[in-house]
Each structure stands twice: as structure tokens, then as C-alpha cells.
Structure 1
Amino acid sequence: MTDLGLNGKRVVVTGAGGGLGRAFALAFAKAGARVVAADVNADGAAETAALAGPSALSMRLDVTSAADCAALATRLSDDWGGVDVLVNNAALYGGLERRPFEDIDEDIWDRVMAVNVKGVWNMSRHLAPLMPADGSIVNVASATVFSGSPQWMHYVASKGAVIAMSRTMAKELGGREVRVNVLAPGFTMTEASLGLIENARSYGVDRAALKRPAETDDIVGGALFLASPLSSYMTGQTLIIDGGRQFI
């Protein structure tokens, strides 16, 4: 792999127990970073860490829990002396039922907001103080914010909030030279996506410029770029990777 300036960097990836989160963690490890794979699914996180190599760590983490986030921050401070990159990937996605917005259960709405929005805030407020001047936060949103996705308002609204939060965080952390950017993938072939949509491999292909579905390898380069010195003067921005679906 081309040197991205990530060798030895201390990287935390949430939602790393599978899917895109695992792909992010393994890509950072391949680039030479030390990785913490964090997930509410402890077994999945441990499996990702094992795949990432001997320098990787795993931790069971509920991003909605301030105590869990604080415990991770303490561990990083004690064991690694801080953190260079935070990838806020954890989200409720695969198990969500598509419904008209007026029929979404209030409890489900609140749970989506707790994980997808509060979780980003929780992790960022606990880990940002541990970052050096070249630190980077990559918040994972969704291209659905720009295209809309019928019967999925809770998810789309939560990811829109992530983009808005990231702009504010970028302004607040910019004086410390900590960057905050957003990665907004389109529909990507993961276990969660396959469970959501029938005939997932052909979903949306006709509405994109590139006539194939996205695989995880198509997305991870965006996270590496946003975390690396290659994007050192980029903050508060949203990088959409959806095969050109937004302009068709």
C-alpha cells in the first residue's frame, strides 16, 4: 500500500465488529496504524482485532454510554498516551424497518438518534481532548442525506445531524488543528445491506454513473484519505462516495 502517513498512528474505529467498520479497521491496520476495534458486539470486535494483527486491541463499547466512552478514553490515555484518529462509524442501520415517517415508533426513533447522533457526540467529546495538533475525526454519515430515502426518515435524519454536528465540531476544534470531516457512503454491499433490500446487488445501479454496486473496498480509501496528512487542510467537509448517484 502507498505510504499515507498513517504508520504508527493510534486509531479508534467504532462499530468495528463487522461490515464497513471492520473494513475500516483492517485498512488502517494495513496502512501501519495501531487500531482499537470497538463495538457493542464484543465478539465481533475481538475478531476484527485478531484479523488486524498483534498491535490491535478490541473493546466492548456502547457509544450511547458516557461511562463506556470515558473508560475507552482512560484506556487510550494510559496505554497509548492518546489517540490520533477517531472513526465514528457505529450506527443503527441493518435492523431498521422501513416505514412511512408517520408510522415510525417513537422508541425506535429515539434509539436511532441515541446511537447515530448522541454516540458521535459522546465519542468525540471524550476522545478529542486526547488528540494532538494533527488529529482527525472522521464521522460516517450517508449519501441518503442528499438523495432522500423514503420510509427511512429516522436513519436519514440522524445522518443529516452527523453532517451538521461535524461542521460545528470542525469550527470548535480548528484552533487546535484537529480536523473533522464526514464520509458519506452510498449503498454498499455489507451484511447489513444484504439484509435490508431484496436483490441488493442490483439496487440503485441504474441511478449511478458507475454501473456496479459498491463494495467495502470502494469506501475505505475515503476514510484513509480524510484521516491522513493528504487532507491536512480539509475540515468541515463531506466526502460522498456513491458511484455518481447524486448527479444522475
Structure 2
Amino acid sequence: MTDMGFGGKVAIVTGGARGLGFAIAEALAAAGAKVLVGDVSGAEDAVHQLSSTGSDVKGCFADVTSEDSVRAMVEAAQASFGRVDILVNNAAIAADMAMTRFEDISPKAFLRMMEVNALGTFLCCQAVSPIMRAQRYGRIINMASGTAFRGMPFVSHYVASKGAVMTLTRSLAHELGEDEITVNAVSPGYTITGPNMANESYMQKVRPEVLKLRAIKRDAYADDVVGAVLFLASDGAKFVTGQILAADGGAVYH
């Protein structure tokens, strides 16, 4: 079995300052990777927490909807660590969502969801691809959602954005595979994180329904998801690409 250690590898985690993104950054750093945390806020605080354990972690402001900001994030990773091996596209609008009828979702809200969740993923993949192609090595992991498999009412703009992430993942797997770059996605179920818990009304409505769907009848926490991300980022998954790995307690099968 290939060692899943990440010594010498460099990872970028977007939206890495809190919630699931922070847990992913923490796990990669603990496994030996050098990590750049990119986020619109809190990146330096995250770096302070992670660096206190001896990990080699840097942080920077990163707005994934801005081509210039994404480029600067990738350049910061190269400047600090010399290369980019792993990209985890975790930045998304999710925890702050409100349940909204389809008819009441404004075009502006729909476009903003697509801009952050789908365009952001696209721009980050586009920014790292020349580096990974030159290296002939790369692991891209996009964060999808089980809602795009089964549909979910009252968050149709979110569902559409995550469906776009899934299909982009499959397309890029074909396009980048010739350069030994794998592109996969992890599809979590509703996961209990600090940001999600802060959205009390959403959690009260969604949490009971999600539990009914799962084969494993309990809440999901960040450490239930990070293992799937680490596997896809590792050389243990070097021949796995274009896949959507559901880490949701058996809520969807595909």
C-alpha cells in the first residue's frame, strides 16, 4: 500500500480558515504537507493555530471569484514553498444559506452562488494547472454536495452550483489526465461545523431530514470527511480520477 504521508508535498486549501476547510488544512499539515490557507477572512488566525503545532503553514487573503486574487494566492504558495502539488477547492457559500423558495431566489443571489461555488472552483483549477502540468503531477479535490445527486428543495441555486462542480470535475479529469493530474470531488453530507451550527434555522430544518436519509444514523463531523480528501490527495489514489466520492454516511449511492 502506498504511504499516504505528504512529506515534501505542497497543498492549497481555499476557504481554509474555518469549518471543514480548516479541518482539511489541519489534517494535511499533520500528515506532513506544507499548506497555504486561502480565505477572504481569518487566514492569519488559522495559520497561527496550525503553526503552533510545528506545521509549515502560510496564509493569504483569497477571493476565489477574482482571477487576480486567485493568481496571487497560487503565486504566494510558489513563493513560499516552490511548487503546488495539491489543491482543495473548499471555498463556497454554504453555511450562511437560508431556505428560500425557487420563485423567491433573485437572479443576483443565483449568480453570486454560481460565482463563488462554481466559478471559484474553475478559476483555482485554471491557476494551478500550468504548474501541475509542468511538474507532471497534481491532485485536485473539489468539494461537491450530495444535494446535487438527490436534489433538495429551497436551495436550488446551491444545488445547481454543486452540480456544476461535479461536471467540471469529470471534464477536467479527462483534460488534465495526460499530465498525470487527477481531478476528483468529495461529496459530504450535511456536516456539523462551527459555521453550520451558527445558522440555527437552517440546521433545525435540514438536520432531521438528513439523518433520515443516512444508513449510518448519526451526525457527520469534519473528521468524517477529511479522510476522503486525504485519500484522493495521496498517491494511494494515483489511478483514481473523475470520481465523486460520497462521504455522507450512506445518504446517496451512485
- TM-score of the superposition, structure 2-length normalised? 0.92
Residue 220 (structure 1) aligns with: 226
Q: Please show how residues 48-127 of structure 1 align to structure 2 within 5 Å.
A: 48-53=46-51, 54-127=55-128
The amino acid of 2:221's aligned partner reads: E
The unaligned stretches of length 5 or more in structure 1 are none
Give, in whole Å, the separation in 1 of the partners of 2:106 and 2:95.
17
Aligned to 1:169: 172
Q: Does 1:186 align with 2:189?
A: yes
SS at match of 2:252: helix
- Please give the alpha-carbon distance, in whole angstroms, between the structure 2 residues aligned to 1:136 and 1:185: 18
Match of 1:113, SS? helix
Tell me: CA distance 1:182–1:189, structure 2 relative to 1, closer, same or farther (3 Å). same
The offset of 1:245, in angstroms, is: 1.3
Unaligned runs of 5+ in 2: none
1:149 correspondence with 2:147:
no
Aligned pairs, how many?
A: 244
| Per-residue deviation, 1:233 | 0.2
Q: Distance in 2 between matches of 1:65 and 1:234?
A: 30
Q: Structure 1 stretch 159-168 or stretch 77-86: which is displaced more?
A: 77-86
Report if aligned partners of 1:166, 1:236 keep a CA contact under 8 Å in 2. Answer: yes
SS of the equivalent of 2:220 reads coil
Residue 229 of structure 1 is aligned with which of 227, 235, 253? 235
Asked whether the 8 Å contact 1:205–1:212 carries over to 2, the reply is yes
Runs of 4+ in structure 1 off by over 4 angstroms are 199-203
Q: Are the equivalent residues in 2 in contact too, given 1:140–1:182 (CA < 8 A)?
A: yes
- Normalising by structure 1, we get a TM-score of 0.94
Tell me whether 52-61 or 172-181 shows the greater mean CA deviation: 52-61
2:190–2:207: 8 Å Cα contact kept in structure 1? Answer: no
Shift of residue 203 of structure 1? 4.8
CA shift for structure 1 position 134: 2.6
The aligned counterpart of 1:46 is 44
- Superposition deviation, residue 192 in structure 1: 2.8
Offset, 1:164: 0.4
Offset from partner CA, 1:142-191 (integer Å, 9 cap, x none):
01111211100000100000000011111110110011000000010012
Is the CA contact 2:101–2:154 (under 8 Å) kept in the aligned structure 1?
yes
- Secondary structure, in 3 states, of the residue corresponding to 2:71? helix
State the distance in 1 between where 2:27 and 2:63 align.
23
**Counterpart amino acid of residue 116 in structure 1:** N
1-side partners of 2:126 and 2:45: how far apart?
A: 27
**What is the percent sequence identity of the aligned residues?**
41
Secondary structure in 2 matching 1:243 = coil
Which region of structure 1 is more displaced relative to structure 2, 77-86 or 198-207? 198-207
Contact 1:25 1:48 survives alignment (8 Å):
no
CA distance in 1, matches of 2:93, 2:167: 18
Whole-angstrom distance in 1 between the partners of 2:206 and 2:109? 24
**Residue 128 (structure 1) aligns with:** 129
Other structure's SS at 2:231 match: helix
> Which whole-Å CA distance do the structure 1 matches of 2:147 and 2:208 have between them?
17
How far apart are the structure 2 equivalents of 1:58 and 1:77? 12
Counterpart residue number, 1:137: 140
Q: CA deviation at 1:73?
A: 2.3
